[in-house]
Amino acid sequence: DTGVSQDPRHKITKRGQNVTFRCDPISEHNRLYWYRQTLGQGPEFLTYFQNEAQLEKSRLLSDRFSAERPKGSFSTLEIQRTEQGDSAMYLCASNPIAGGTDTQYFGPGTRLTVL
Amino acid sequence: GENVEQHPSTLSVQEGDSAVIKCTYSDSASNYFPWYKQELGKGPQLIIDIRSNVGEKKDQRIAVTLNKTAKHFSLHITETQPEDSAVYFCAARAGGNDYKLSFGAGTTVTVRA
Amino acid at the residue A13: T
- A39 with B41: CB under 8 angstroms? no
- B93 with B108: CB under 8 angstroms? no
pLDDT in tens, A11-58: 999 999 999 999 999 998 999 999 999 999 999 999 999 999 999 999
Q: Is B34 exposed, middle or buried (0-12, 13-18, 19+ CB in 10 A)?
A: buried
pLDDT in tens, B28-69: 999 999 999 999 989 999 999 999 888 999 999 999 999 999
Interface test with A, best of B47, B97, B100, B102 (most A CBs within 10 A): B100
Q: Name every chain B residue with its beta carbon within 8 A of the beta carbon of A35.
A: 101
Q: Is B69 exposed, middle or buried (0-12, 13-18, 19+ CB in 10 A)?
A: exposed
Residue A96: φ, ψ to 5° = -90, 155
Q: Please tell me the total number of residues recorded for chain A in this structure.
A: 115
Nearest to A109 among B6, B43, B45 (CB): B43
Q: Across B3-97, where does the E strand assignment appear?
A: 4-7, 10-14, 19-25, 32-38, 45-51, 56-59, 62-67, 72-77, 86-95
